[in-house]
Chain A
Amino acid sequence: ETGVTQSPTHLIKTRGQQVTLRCSSQSGHNTVSWYQQALGQGPQFIFQYYREEENGRGNFPPRFSGLQFPNYSSELNVNALELDDSALYLCATRRDRENIQYFGAGTRLSVL
C-alpha cells in the first residue's frame, strides 16, 4: 500500500474529447509526477509538479496539462484526445528530500 490513490480506475472516451484524471497522496508528499504507459512498454514521464508549480516536463504536447493542489492532490488533463492516448496513466509522489517515488495503481484510458 503506497498511499497514492488514482481515480477513476478505468475510463472510455472518444477521439476529440477531453479527460481529467485524479491523484491523491499522503500528507507531506510535495512532488507529484505523471507517467503514460502504453501497452507492452515502460512508463514514460509526462511532467512533474512541486509545490503547485510545474518543474519538469517530458516529450509530450501542450494538450497534456496538470494541476497540483495544496491538499496533496493533483490532476492530469488531456485535451483533444487521440487514439494513441490510450494507455495506463500513472501518478507517483514523494516527500521532500526522499529519494523514493511511490506509484498509484493507475487509470486505464481507452480512446475510441
Chain B
Amino acid sequence: DAKTTQPTSMDCAEGRAANLPCNHSTISGNEYVYWYRQIHSQGPQYIIHGLKNNETNEMASLIITEDRKSSTLILPHATLRDTAVYYCIVRAPEGAGNMLTFGGGTRLMVKP
C-alpha cells in the first residue's frame, strides 16, 4: 500500500471548516483513499473514502486532486466533538490482505 504523509497536528476554530491535507504521491491506479478518525481511547471511526472523484457524506467531504497524489478531508463546520486524530490511508480494493496501514495521523484540535 502507498505511504501517506500528514501534518502532525492542526488547530481549527469551532464553527469553521477544518481542512486536513494528505499526500500520497506513490498511489497506484486501483488504490482508494480512506479517512478514519479516532477520538481519545475509542476505536477508529470510518469517515469517507474515494477513488478519484470528490465524495461527500453527512460527516465530511473528500477532495482528491486530478493526479491523485494528494487529497483533503473537509469538515465543513467543526465542533468540539471533532477533536480527534485523523488518519489518511491508501489501500487497494478488498481482497486478500485486508489490512489498513495506519500512519501517525493528524491530531486536530477544535478550539472554542
Contact = CB atoms under 8 A, between A and B. Distances in A.
Interface in B92-109: 93-94, 96-105
B46 A42 contact: no
Contacts of B96: 55-56
Contact of A97 (B42, B43, B94, B102): B94
Interface of A: 2, 4, 6, 31, 33, 35, 41-45, 48, 50, 55-56, 58, 88, 90, 92, 94, 97-106, 108
Given A42-B105, A97-B94, A99-B49, A104 B43 contact: yes
Interface in B24-53: 32, 36, 41-46, 49
Contacts of A100: 46, 49
Interface of B: 32, 36, 41-46, 49, 87, 93-94, 96-105
A50 B94 CA distance: 12
Given A43-B102, A44-B102, A45-B100, A98 B45 contact: no
B91 to A, nearest CB: 9
Q: Return the 10 tightest CB-CB contacts between A and B, nearest first.
A: A42-B102, A103-B43, A45-B99, A103-B44, A48-B98, A43-B102, A105-B43, A56-B97, A106-B43, A104-B43
Contacts of B94: 94, 97-99
A34 B28 CA distance: 25
A102 B99 CA distance: 12
Contacts of B93: 99
A90 B49 contact: no
Given A99-B32, A99-B49, A100-B49, A43 B97 contact: no
Contacts of A50: 98
A50 B104 CA distance: 28
28 contacts: A4-B43, A31-B98, A35-B102, A42-B87, A42-B102, A42-B103, A43-B44, A43-B102, A44-B102, A45-B99, A45-B101, A48-B97, A56-B99, A58-B99, A88-B41, A90-B44, A92-B43, A92-B44, A92-B100, A94-B98, A97-B94, A98-B94, A99-B32, A100-B46, A105-B43, A106-B41, A106-B42, A108-B41
